[in-house]
Amino acid sequence: MEVNVLDADRWPEFLAMMRVGFADAFSSTVLASGSAAAPASKSQPVAKATKPVAKEGAADPVTAWKRLVEQIVSKNQTVCFFAPRGIGLTAWNPSERKQTHIRRRFMLLGQTLDGMRVWDVRRGLQVIRGLPGLKGRPIHLRASGVMAGIVLYASLFEPPVERLDLTALPASHRDGPIFLNVLRFLDIPQAVAMAADRANVCLIEPAGADAGDPWQFPRTVATSLGWPTQRLNFARPPQ
């Protein structure tokens, strides 16, 4: 079973792909600059639905839809898509100023937005694992960018998944995800080693590959513990 955790860039790509096969079901989804508008209030009218604007370089929606259908039908695989809080249908005001205020307010409450999204991913996994017919199914988690870091940490607090595919994972928390005081104890390469002790981890074009090797720590751990090659893998994105 594949679980795709969407970030703000992947959400419009997801909508564009799903509208190929489910035009009526997804035609009324509200979208503003790649994110769904927040629910209406007396002072904030609902934005009109607009055509999803996929990020430059994203896969063609028709091609992406055909790949998804092939994956489900030919490989008999269950595929799930999940967007944590603040993304897609739960997105807040898209103004950068408003987004900054929201992130600061979360920190004043003692938590960061990224930290709460770790909890969202955990709860999503718990719900998926509890669905009829899916109990006990191995899970393959996929995410990219900062969301890949969020998924990485979420996997540490749940029963082991079968595989993590993390695309463009930041090499340090200085580039996200943001967790309060995390750098006092560890950085992302150490978290990768912890995750690889529980599941197969594939880093697809991770950050920092052109500036030395920030991933030397998990490589050394893998060698020292004699892990099989599939436990920690580095790859290029599929064509």
The two structure tokens encoding residue 33: 């600059």
CATH architecture of 95-235: 3-Layer(aba) Sandwich (3.40)
Report whether 160 contacts 140 (CB < 8 A).
no
**Helix orientation angle between 146-156 and 113-130, rounded to the nearest 10 degrees:** 60
Say which residue the tokens 């950050």 belong to: 207
> Angle at the Cα of 49 (from 43 to 53), degrees rounded to 5?
120
Could you read off the pLDDT of 99-137 as tens digits, one per residue?
999 999 999 999 999 999 999 999 999 999 999 989 889
- Which ranges of the chain would DSSP assign to H, the alpha helix? 10-21, 23-26, 61-73, 96-108, 113-130, 146-156, 188-196, 216-224
Report the residue count for the chain. Answer: 239
**What phi and psi, each to the nearest 5 degrees, are found at residue 169?**
-65, 130
pLDDT-based confidence at 166, cuts 50/70/90?
very high
Going from N- to C-terminal start, the domains of the chain cover: 95-235
* Residue 173 to residue 232: CA distance in whole angstroms: 20
Looking up tokens 């929606």, which residue turns up?
61
Q: What is the pLDDT of residue 41?
A: 37
Which residues, other chains included, contact 212 with Cβ-Cβ below 8 Å and sequence gap of 6+?
Answer: none
125 Cβ partners below 8 Å, 6+ apart?
3, 139, 154, 158, 161
Query: Has residue 43 got a pLDDT over 80?
Result: no
Q: pLDDT (tens digit, 9 = 90+) per residue, 194-221?
A: 999 999 999 998 876 655 689 999 999 9
pLDDT tens-place string over residues 62-108? 999 999 999 899 888 899 999 999 999 999 888 899 999 999 999 99
